[in-house]
Amino acid sequence: MRAIVTVIGKDKSGIIAKVSSVLAANDVNIEDISQTIVSGNFTMIMLCDLEKSRLSLAELNETMRHTGAEAGVSIHVQHEDIFNAMHNV
């Protein structure tokens, strides 16, 4: 299964390291990544493969939500199909 991970917040050092470290620790592979900073606001979208992860999508979403709270950013994890459906209206 693949999922989309979105990260949004004020830019500061260490965001990518924090997010990617938690994903790697849970055996989530980042297949594609795009990030930018607009007027001091950090945005990142990642396409991730969860096939080898021991966490369910809901568990990963909760883990990443807590990681975002610690890092001062908002992180959401969605199944790739739901993300695509929401953006193909």
Phi, psi of 76, deg, nearest 5: -130, 140
For 11, the 3-state DSSP assignment is coil
Count up the domains in the chain and report the number: 1
State the pLDDT at residue 84: 64
Write out pLDDT tens, residues 37-70.
999 999 999 999 999 999 999 999 999 999 999 9
CATH number assigned to the domain comprising residue 17: 3.30.70.260
At residue 8, the 3 state secondary structure works out as strand
CA dihedral 76, 20, 30, 68 (to 10 degrees): 0
| Residue in the structure block whose two tokens are 């021991």 | 54
- The DSSP secondary-structure symbol of 54 reads S
Radius of gyration of the chain (CA): 12
Question: What pLDDT does 65 receive?
Answer: 98
Residues spanned by the domain of 36? 2-86
